[in-house]
Amino acid sequence: MNTYRIALNFEDGVTRFVECGATEKVLDAAYRNRINLPMDCSDGVCGTCKCRAESGAYELGDDYIEDALTEDEAEQGLVLTCQMIPKSDCVIAVPVPSTACKTGTAEFGATVAEVAPFSDAAYELVLDIPDNAPVFLPGQYVNITVPGSGQHRSYSFSSAPGARRMTFLIKHVPEGLMSTWLKSGPDGQSLQMTGPLGSFYLRPVARPLLLLAGGTGLAPFLSMLEVLAEQQSGQPVHMIYGVTRDQDLVLVDRLLDYAQRVPGFTFTTCVADAATTHERQGYVTQHMPAQALHGGNVDVYLCGPPPMVDAVQKHFKTEGITPASFHYEKFTPNQTAS
Ligand code: FES
């Protein structure tokens, strides 16, 4: 029998995946996996199990009453998980924290296959993963415990969901906990991780995309581009990749490769350093052509440091543009994602 993979995204950023049978209700599939989604009647009467289906095909079920789910709500993508039967893989936003559903993040181990340094700018960490490693949505991150420290750091996956190996692009921080460990030559050593986490992930592609990457904030976009290469949606996808110094501009060869593999994908790079020899000096907002905004008919994804998020929001305001959607992940080197 067919099964579909259902991603349950909880309010606290935790994502859990469950396999749901082709005739099974999502609430039942979650329950089988010991995830107690909100519910009361389980009969389509109370509306307690209402969630938002963010992507995928499904049947709403025909056994519920209008009080539990109105026609308007159904049109907006709301569903009753006690009635909903998936017809494809789906992503469902659950409006409560994972702890309220007696679930949490998955923990798993991996082995370092390779650490590739990019001058003093960043590292690419490549991990061998066990067969039961959790899948993730392109754009999400994981917490990695730095061996021997008891502390963790958060990094976005740069590999494709379901790939044989997991990869991460990690900024080099002088004296940083993770950087010091990566420099020590940890090939073959084990790492413990928890995740996947985060609500910054690629939504169904229904219009042009604008991807804004700051430094190692490039990582989640590499994962998204892998998925875009597979989907071949044909929508224009433009990326602006901005860094501080010339040597921070890494993996441009990989972007050139995506420009061949992803129809409609173009990108440009810029360097903020006033002394740069790069052909485009400045910040991403200074190299954002009006046509990349498509008059607002665009989904914008941004991963970069907090000042970049603020600058881009200000730029949209100045230009009088309200994008159809704006998803962002703010990070600082010692904190979250990338
Ligand atoms: Fe009552 Fe679904 S649990 S409508």
Protein residue with its CA nearest to atom 4 in ligand 1: 44
Cβ atoms of residues 193 and 110 within 8 Å: yes
Check residue 198 and give its pLDDT.
Answer: 85
Global pTM exceeds 0.85: no
User: In this predicted model, what pLDDT tens digit does every residue of 222-232 receive, in sequence order?
Assistant: 999 999 999 98
Asked whether 82 lines ligand 1 (CB < 6 A), one says yes
Among 41, 4, 12, smallest CA distance to 101 is for 12
The verdict on the CB of residue 44 being under 6 Å from ligand 1 is yes
Looking at residue 157, the DSSP 8-state letter turns out to be: B
Highest mean pLDDT among 62-66, 197-201, 270-274: 270-274
Q: Which fold has domain 209-330?
A: Rossmann fold (3.40.50)
Question: Could you say which architecture CATH assigns to the domain 3-101?
Answer: Roll (3.10)
Render pLDDT for 135-191 as a digit per residue (tens, 0 to 9). 888 999 999 999 999 899 999 999 999 899 999 999 999 999 999 999 998 999 999
Q: Parse the chain into domains and list their residue ranges.
A: 3-101, 106-197, 209-330
Task: Give, in order, the Cα–Cα distances in Å from 263 to each of 18, 80, 237, 269, 310.
Answer: 31, 36, 8, 19, 30
Alpha-carbon separation of residue 289 from 210, 211, 217, 274 (angstroms): 11, 13, 21, 21
pLDDT score, position 191: 95
CATH 2.40.30.10 fits 106-197, yes or no: yes
Position 337 scores a pLDDT of: 45
| Residue 314 clears pLDDT 80, i.e. is over it | yes
Confidence of residue 338 (pLDDT cuts 50, 70, 90): very low
What confidence score (pLDDT) does residue 323 get? 96
Which ligand 1 atom lies nearest to the CA of residue 47?
4
Q: For residues 115 and 92, what is the distance between their CA atoms, to the nearest angstrom?
A: 35
Q: Which atom of ligand 1 is least distant from the CA of 80?
A: 2
| Cα–Cα distance, 215 to 86 (Å, whole number) | 38
